[in-house]
Amino acid sequence: MSEMDRRKFMGSAAGAVAGALLVAGCKERAKVAVPAGGAVRLAVIGPGSRGQELMRTFLRVPGVRFTGLCDVYEPRFAEARDITRENTPIFHDYRELLAAKDVDAVVVATPLSFHAEHVVAALESGRHVYGEKSMAMTVDGCDQIVEAVKRTGKNYQVGVQYHYATWYQDTLRRIREGRIGKITHVYAEWHRNHNWRRPVPDPNDQKLERLINWRMYKEYSLGLMAELGSHHISFANEIFGGMPESVVGSGGVDYWKDGRETYDNVQVVYRYPAGETLFFSAITSNAHEGAQIRVYGTEGTAVLTEGDAVLFSEAKRLKASPVTKVLIDHGIMTGASYLAEMPYRGKGESIPVPDDVEGNANYLACESFIRSIVNHQKPEADEREGWAEAVAVILGNQAIEEGKRLYFRDYIRKPVGAHSDSL
Amino acid sequence: MLGCFSVVAVWAQGPRTERAGPHTTNQAKLYEQSRPAMGTEFKIYLYAEQDEQAEAWFGAAFAEIERLDETLSNYKPESELSRINRLAGHQMVTTDPEMYALLQTCIEYSRRSGGTFDITVGPLMRAWGFFRGQGKYPAPWQLDKAREKVGWQKVQLDPAGRTVHFAVDGMELDLGGIGKGYAVDRVIRQLRMAGVKAAMVDAGSSTLYAIGAPPGKKGWLVGVPKPGDRSQTISTVLLKDESLSTSGSYEKFFQLNGRTYCHIMDPRTGAPVEGMLQATVIGVDGMTTEALSKPMFVMGTEQGAKYLGNFPGVSGLWVAGAIDKQQEVEWNWPGCAGECGETLEGSRERKLRTQ
């Protein structure tokens, strides 16, 4: 793929093009309507690894059909058509795809650095957008998406699928009911023992390497913070009811010294306005902890994984009680102390996953997006949630880069939605 | 899950190693990688010219295997198959084109095999105690209850909406009798497209597929073990651009009143198959051979041979009888007939009845 081709697809969407799209988008919007019967025609920009997974999942939702595929890497078309099992129209330029008539909504699963451009263009063309997380690579890009949603009135759902997991929502409800007391800390990990690379057909082709392993290069990616941290940050924002006010971080390319630029391990500590803390860690050299979130409250702990959640209670704090005179008369017996340092946690209380729930978090997120279109509702994980998650990712990564505490107020021009209160 | 038994797979020379194997040509070296998936271990052997190239091919292949494991597993609650199993008893469930096509294929194999291949046998396996145990004789009411929930005809597929529906609530699908073969085929296709010229994909040794042949060889040597004694090989074949699957009954069984009950069910009777120890089939692809090996086992030698005759390019080898009194029967079976050049240790002359 030549650099020219790349520009054509990923390109910088220079003013003239953006303007043309704006005009075209306004005309197009009136024609684009969700067909009767709930059928929704989707197109995908970037049917790579994650894009293909989303395609499979969307196709499990009744009435969904893919009517457009856009990529700059030719093999993706055959792979994506293998998923649709039909000759789905292909486009090498996203602007051509957005000019097509038979598209109701667009799935954007391109590298992070192109999210803002592709999402804004799709919204401006009158389409609803399911945008892969993280929302955008810069605060400015996030602001652009929020503005475009406001301007077009179209739906934007950010791909933080765990928001839709029943055990996440159930845990959140119990937390809000005070089940584990006041939440003071969230400790979250996403630990893997893997180089995090995707296979490249020709390992000697550096252009192909950057195209396929874009997560490794700072030009396109914020690395582990964006690709993994965004899920946990999004959940912590929900728990704390807002976004962080500051962040410090550490990280580096310390184990997989294979030419990558984005960090192979990150640790960040976010402070929220009411004094709560989120600690997030992602490493690629040990998978013992896996992906989990521990929510610490004064009366208990919630442990969430990719497939379940368990609540544990803290030991009861006993109130002072009057002592009988017997103690004074008979004294206190001395002896060795055997109090275990590690508290007994018990088996905990599993959050049940109902039998009749449709599938995993990915399915629930995709199904919810389709439902929001058909029912003309706003998505749950909308642009406000995406904005808060992405801004925290961006500043977390920047804090690692700069090696100092960053205050969110210094980088945000216009807080979005509910998050304006937390700054 | 239907029973599958090991086939001894080897390549032409030398012991296995994790990375570069000892078998090299001027350019290509033999590599091996294995990972757990689908309740067993998948191994891939392939020839590549560079370590990086081998890593890339392995990476893509195992990513596909992992994806299919996440989709087809009936143990993982988040899999697509589990979603269908949870819901299809009380609603129409839309699924993706790949899963729908796979289920269509399964139903077609059930139809063609007269119900001896059946992805709905799960409740029977539970009733007979084979789901996670060594087996037990079920009470008649348990069997009746299980039979109500078994039967491929009760799986209703509608291509218009790509929907799956169970006529009886409580039914469940288990793709253990075809999923590994499907995964092997997907990986083979991927490796071929990537330019791999010689490889062997081994799904828990019960389904194997060979791409091409090791340099300078006519094919990949595969040994079929004697039931109950893996140190002995009853047949050695050369596999090249074809698949081989084996089903066996002698690892999970129980005995009662002088009868042996194995974990492979005859879905037509609701009882374990008796008098059969092992069935091995060679064919054009992994899905075909895996889906044929169970009916072969269930039908027995005569009916089974007739059934195999419906599929071009297949051959079969049965071991019937009891562990201490084995009878080998073949149909179109190639064997090596001296062409292998080398035979596996323990290999012996067979006395076979050929149709």
Least confident of A109-118, A414-423, B133-142: A414-423
What is the rounded distance in angstroms from the CA atom of residue A152 to the CA atom of residue A324?
Answer: 73
pLDDT 10s digits, A157-202: 999 999 999 999 999 999 999 999 999 999 999 999 999 999 888 8
What's the mean pLDDT in B202-219? 94
To the nearest whole Å, the CA of B95 is away from the closest chain A CA by: 4
pLDDT of residue A2 exceeding 80, the answer is no
Region A212-220 average pLDDT? 97
**Would the pLDDT of B138 be above 90?**
no
Does residue B231 form part of some domain?
A: yes
pLDDT tens digits for range B157-171: 999 999 999 999 999
- Looking at residue A341, its pLDDT comes to 61
How confident is the model at residue A342, as a pLDDT? 64
The pLDDT-based confidence of A418 (bands split at 50, 70, 90) is: low
ipTM: 0.82
pTM of the model: 0.85
CATH number at residue B308: 3.10.520.10
Element (H, E) at B321: strand B315-322
Q: Say what the pLDDT of residue A419 is.
A: 52
- For residue B322, tell me if it sits in a domain: yes
Segment A306-318 mean pLDDT: 84
Q: Which residue has the higher pLDDT, A115 or B257?
A: A115
List of long-range contacts for A301-307, beta carbons under 8 Å, 24+ apart: A301/A180, A302/A171, A302/A174, A302/A175, A302/A180, A303/A348, A304/A167, A304/A168, A304/A171, A304/A235, A306/A162, A306/A361, A306/B78, A307/A167, A307/A360, A307/B77, A307/B78
Q: What is the pLDDT of residue B42?
A: 96
Lowest-confidence segment of A14-28, A41-55, A75-89, A152-166 by average pLDDT: A14-28
Determine the pLDDT at residue B21. 47
Chain B residues whose C-beta sits inside 8 Å of any chain A C-beta: 50, 52-53, 55-60, 63, 67, 71, 77-80, 82-83, 86-87, 90, 94-99, 101, 161-163, 194
Dihedral in degrees, nearest 10, Cα atoms A16, A19, A24, A26: 180
Calculate mean pLDDT across residues A349-369: 83
Euclidean distance between CA atoms B97 and A84, whole angstroms:
6
pLDDT of residue A210: 96
The predicted structure's pLDDT at residue B340: 58
Q: Is A17 exposed, middle or buried (0-12, 13-18, 19+ CB in 10 A)?
A: middle
A208 within 8 A of A141, measured Cβ to Cβ: no
Instruction: Report which of B328, B311, B306 is spatially closest to residue B319, judged by C-alpha positions.
Output: B328
Number of domains in chain B: 1
Could you say which of B53, B99, B101 has the minimum Cβ distance to residue A203? Answer: B53
Task: Write down the pLDDT at residue B230.
Answer: 83
B40 found inside a domain? yes
In this model, does residue A14 exceed pLDDT 90?
A: no
Is residue A20 predicted with pLDDT exceeding 70?
A: no
Smallest CA-to-CA distance from B161 within B85, B118, B100, B234 is with B100
B32 found inside a domain: yes
* CB–CB contact B83 A363 (8 Å): yes
Please answer yes or no on whether B97 and A85 come within 8 Å at the CB atom.
yes
Strand B353-354 to B265-266 pairing: unpaired
Q: What is the pLDDT of residue B189?
A: 96
Judging contacts by C-beta atoms under 8 Å, the chain B residues touching residue A164 are none
* Band of residue B241 on the pLDDT scale cut at 50, 70, 90: very high
- Residues B66-87 have a mean pLDDT of 93
List pLDDT tens digits, range A264-281.
999 999 999 999 999 999
Query: Would you state the pLDDT for residue A199?
Result: 86
B161 in a domain, yes or no? no
In a domain, B321, yes or no: yes
Mean pLDDT for the stretch of residues B25-49: 90
d(CA B311, CA A334): 84
Report yes or no on B150 lying in a domain: no
Q: In the A/B pair of chains, how many CB contacts fall below 8 A?
A: 70
In contact, B246 and B5? CB cutoff 8 Å: yes
Domain limits for position B289: 8-55+199-354
In angstroms, the Cα distances linking B38 to A199, A284, B90, B211, B251 are 22, 24, 27, 22, 18
What residues of B are in contact with residue A211 (Cβ under 8 Å)?
Answer: none
A276: phi then psi, degrees, rounded to nearest 5: -80, 160
- Tens digit of each residue's pLDDT (9 = 90 or more) over B98-128: 999 999 999 999 999 999 999 999 898 888 8
Least confident of A35-49, A408-422, B335-349: B335-349
pLDDT at residue A215 greater than cutoff 70:
yes
**Residues of chain A contacting B162 with CB distance shorter than 8 Å:** 59
Q: Does any domain span residue B235? A: yes
